[in-house]
Amino acid sequence: MVSSLERVAGRITAPRGERILGWATLVAMAASAVMSLVVSPPDAQQGNAARLLYIHVPSAWLAYLSFAVVFVASIAYLATRRTRWDRLAAASAEVGVLFTALAIALGSLWGKPVWGTWWTWDPRITTTTILLLIYVGYLAVRRLSDSPARRARWAAVVGVVGFLDVPVSYLSVTWWRGLHQGTTIRLLGESTIAPIMQVALMTGVFAFTLLFLYLVTVRLRLGRLEDRAVAEALSPRLGQSAEALLEQEASARG
Amino acid sequence: MKRGRVVIVLAIVTGTLIWVATKGLSGNLIYYQTPTEVLHAGSSIVGERTRVGGYVVPGSVQASGAIVRFVVTDGTTRLSVINTGAVPALFSDGRGVVLEGTYGADGVFHSDTLLVKHNGLYTPPAPGVTPSSADLSGGG
Amino acid sequence: MTLVGQSVAIAAKDLRIEVRGRYALGSVLPFAGTLLVAFGLSLGPGRTLLAETAPGLLWLAVLFASVLSSRRAYEHEGEDGALEGLLLAPIDKAAVFIGKGIAIAVQLLALELAIVLLVSGLFDLSLAVAPLTLVAALFLGTIGLAAVGSLFGVLAEAPRAREAVLPLLVLPLATPVLIAGVRATALATAGRAGEAGSWLGLLLAFDLVFVSVGTLVFGFLLEE
């Protein structure tokens, strides 16, 4: 299973796949912008502020998706010791930190007009913030070691442990926010959304997922170049010069 | 790595996480008290900081300067509220709200934080109606 | 030697070093005390606010003490190639994790005794209401903190390690310990120990996850 996954990943991250992915992302993002800003009507209660839904929810989805990818890639690295899994974990963590911060910032902007506050210690918001801090720590650990192999092992351990910490943190924060046991009236019912807004939201989620794949692909290529440059610097007679590698990469893409 | 150890660790972690998940989703946990609970608790919670959730009784909202008076209900009990904090743009009759503050000896809930619970409903406005844009006017 | 025997041997070695060097007693405890006085100065002198925040301040002091102790647990391994010696020793790598964890936990428990007395004196925390719940919360929380510290303390010995990396990693990971520990302590000292059960369960869940996963993955951190 692992090898077939690697094959698919290899095809996407090839220069041609990356170019196609880039264009697909651009088209999907444009479609999402049109859906969110033009096609979707304003919300009956919130007016235009509700349009934040179409970027806030996809960002939050990417936050959790990317750290799940870090978790799986970290386990795969520890099991196979292939550098590509470590590069995938690193790429996904960097993109994930970006979108987690974006989701929190957008949620805060949205919370002010709708709830009346920039910040509330709501379980989901608080857990997302803890998630962000854990993966900022993950990126800090990646900068600790000079040895690539050791860096990859350390990061993989943090990637696994950090992900397992998230459900426990979520439970603790949920209980912490509760007053005490008892029954409650449901102010927050099942979420219902008008069909056209649902379509706009799905477009946003799809476009952001493509964006995630594209950013990870670009970061993977960068990681490969970095590794080759390091290898070349360490053994100049065996490898080609870094400039030659960059030119080769550029001509393959152009 | 010892295979037996991997199996034991996986079993412990899976078991613990399942316990955590069932606990987390059991949902008998509340974030606020209802007006009924507040009035039942009565004098025992006077002066204690707490949160109350309920629906705004239509027609009960009176604004005077920065202070807003209204009544919240959970369907059975009504509780008067004096709010001194910021009022979000979504606040209106019939809305679900969560208030943070203290229950006073005068039988009134003095809140300084008013949060509007969004009901998770997203719909286009009725034909011919322009929704008041909540974007920039909020918070005042 | 079995895993248990090896772990105990490493714990005994670390505790012997501590007894001879007195780092926890000479540096960590004064630091915790200074921290508590600083908390008092920043929040006081109103007694009600201090009494309300006392459980939180207690656990913050414990948390910072755990970061310092876990850093120390690997600091002396960095000298004279001691870590290489430990790696070459014919022992299970997991024993290093468990042994160091035990040593950190024992030091922390000793520190907590002093911290609790200090908090009780400075901030009016009533200890006698439900001492068993209080001890259970501190014990379970300490195991979790020691596991996290024993697992990641070794990172602080990296050639390019920055002082901030260990707390940056440990503090967010320890969120459940902080919240559950503070809640259980607050309930125990307010005479509502009966409600603390789920918090103690959460601390136990954290301990189980971190001790078991740590045993499994610690070897990856040490490999060369």
DSSP-assigned letters across all residues of chain B = --HHHHHHHHHHHHHHHHHHHHHHHS--B-SSB-HHHHHHHGGGGBT-EEEEEEEEPTT--EEETTEEEEEEESSS-EEEEEE-S---TT--TT-EEEEEEEE-TTS-EEEEEEEEPP-SEE-PPPTTPPPPP-TTTTT-
- For chain C, positions 128-187, list CB contacts with chain A under 8 A: 151-152, 155, 158-162, 164-165, 168-169, 171-173, 175-176, 179-180, 183
At B83, the pLDDT band (50, 70, 90 cuts) reads confident
- Secondary structure, 3-state, A100-128: HHHHHHHHHHHHHHHCCCCCCCCHHHHHH
- For chain A, the structural domain boundaries read 14-43, 53-178, 214-248
At A212, the pLDDT band (50, 70, 90 cuts) reads very high
Q: Which DSSP string do the residues of A145-156 spell out, in sequence order?
A: -SSHHHHHHHHH
Q: Are residues B53 and A187, on separate chains, in Cβ contact within 8 Å? A: yes
Tell me the average pLDDT of chain B. 77
pLDDT tens string A62-98: 999 999 999 999 999 999 999 899 999 999 999 999 9
Amino acid at C124: D
Q: Is the dihedral of CA A34, A198, A129, A22 positive or negative?
A: negative
Interacting residues of A211 by C-beta distance below 8 A, sequence separation 6+: A25, A28, A29, A62
Q: Is the dihedral of CA A17, A18, A24, A25 positive or negative?
A: positive
Percent of chain C with pLDDT over 70: 97
Give chain A positions within 8 Å (CB) of C161.
Answer: 144
Amino acid at A106: L
Q: How far is CA A110 from the centre of its chain?
A: 21
pLDDT value for C46: 81
Q: Are residues C217 and A157, on separate chains, in Cβ contact within 8 Å? A: yes
Residue located via tokens 């414990």: C62
pLDDT tens string C182-208: 999 988 888 777 778 888 999 999 999
- Judged on CB neighbours under 10 Å (0-12, 13-18, 19+), B28 is exposed
Give chain A positions within 8 Å (CB) of B45.
Answer: none
Is the pLDDT reported for residue B120 higher than 70?
no
Going by the DSSP 8-state scheme, the letter that residue A47 receives in this structure is: B
Give the Cα separation of C73 and C87 in Å (integer). 15
Q: Are residues A154 and C221, on separate chains, in Cβ contact within 8 Å? A: yes
Give the Cα separation of B56 and B51 in Å (integer). 15
Is the pLDDT reported for residue B139 higher than 50?
no
Q: Give the total number of structural domains in chain C.
A: 1
Give the Cα separation of B114 and C8 in Å (integer). 55
- For chain B, positions 118-137, list CB contacts with chain A under 8 A: 118-126, 129, 131-137
pLDDT value for B97: 83
Q: Are residues B9 and C94, on separate chains, in Cβ contact within 8 Å? A: no
- Of the ranges B12-26, B92-106, C167-181, the best mean pLDDT one: C167-181
In the complex, which subunits touch A with 3 or more CB pairs below 8 angstroms? B, C
Give chain A positions within 8 Å (CB) of C159.
Answer: 145-146
Percent of chain A with pLDDT over 70: 82
Q: Are residues B1 and C219, on separate chains, in Cβ contact within 8 Å? A: yes
Q: Which range, of A169-178, B2-11, C21-30, averages the lowest pLDDT?
A: A169-178
- Quick check: helix, strand or coil at residue C95? helix
Distances (CA, A) of B6 to B56, C4, C118: 55, 17, 43
Q: Residue A83 corresponds to which tokens in the numbers above?
A: 């550098």
pLDDT value for A66: 94
Is the pLDDT reported for residue A251 higher than 90?
no
User: How many interface pairs between A and C have CB atoms less than 8 angstroms apart?
Assistant: 93
Q: Residue C200 corresponds to which tokens in the numbers above?
A: 């103690």
Tell me the average pLDDT of chain A. 82
pLDDT value for A235: 67
Comparing CA positions, the residue from A198, A216, A205, A188 lying closest to residue A70 is A216
Q: Residue A47 corresponds to which tokens in the numbers above?
A: 């007016």
Closest residue on chain B to C210 (Cα): B13
Q: Locate the DSSP E strands across chain A.
A: 192-193
How far off is chain C from B13, nearest CA to CA, in Å? 5
Q: Which residues of B touch C (CB under 8 A)?
A: 1, 5-6, 8-9, 12-13, 16-17, 19-20, 23
pLDDT value for A247: 61
Does B54 touch chain A if contact means CB atoms closer than 8 Å? yes
Q: Residue A236 corresponds to which tokens in the numbers above?
A: 């100049």
At A242, the pLDDT band (50, 70, 90 cuts) reads low
Across the interface, of A141, A146, A175, the residue whose CB is closest to C169 is A141
pLDDT tens string A16-73: 888 889 999 999 999 999 988 888 888 777 778 888 888 998 999 999 999 999 999 9
Across the interface, of A41, A48, A193, the residue whose CB is closest to B135 is A48
At B128, the pLDDT band (50, 70, 90 cuts) reads low
Give the Cα separation of A83 and A91 in Å (integer). 12
Across the interface, of B23, B96, B125, the residue whose CB is closest to A41 is B125
Residue located via tokens 């080769």: A248
Phi-psi map region of B32: left, alpha, beta (phi>0 left; psi -120 to 50 alpha):
beta
Residue located via tokens 């386990």: A75
Q: Are residues A48 and B24, on separate chains, in Cβ contact within 8 Å? A: no
At B133, the pLDDT band (50, 70, 90 cuts) reads very low
Give chain C positions within 8 Å (CB) of B20.
Answer: 202, 205
Q: Residue A4 corresponds to which tokens in the numbers above?
A: 């077939």
Comparing CA positions, the residue from B4, B87, B80, B78 lying closest to residue B36 is B78
pLDDT value for B114: 82
Does A39 touch chain B if contact means CB atoms closer than 8 Å? no
Q: Are residues B125 and A42, on separate chains, in Cβ contact within 8 Å? A: yes
Residue among B3, B20, B26, B30 with most chain C CBs within 10 A, to mutate:
B20
Which domain covers residue C111, as residue numbers?
3-222
CB B111 within 8 A of CB B99: yes
CB B70 within 8 A of CB B58: no
pLDDT value for C169: 92
pLDDT tens string C140-194: 999 999 999 999 998 887 766 677 889 999 999 999 999 999 999 988 888 777 7
pLDDT value for A36: 87
Q: Are residues C202 and A158, on separate chains, in Cβ contact within 8 Å? A: no
At A181, the pLDDT band (50, 70, 90 cuts) reads very low
pLDDT tens string A85-136: 999 999 999 999 999 999 999 988 888 777 777 887 777 888 899 999 999 9
In the complex, which subunits touch C with 3 or more CB pairs below 8 angstroms? A, B
Tell me the average pLDDT of chain C. 89
pLDDT tens string B28-39: 455 677 888 888
Closest residue on chain B to A200 (Cα): B122
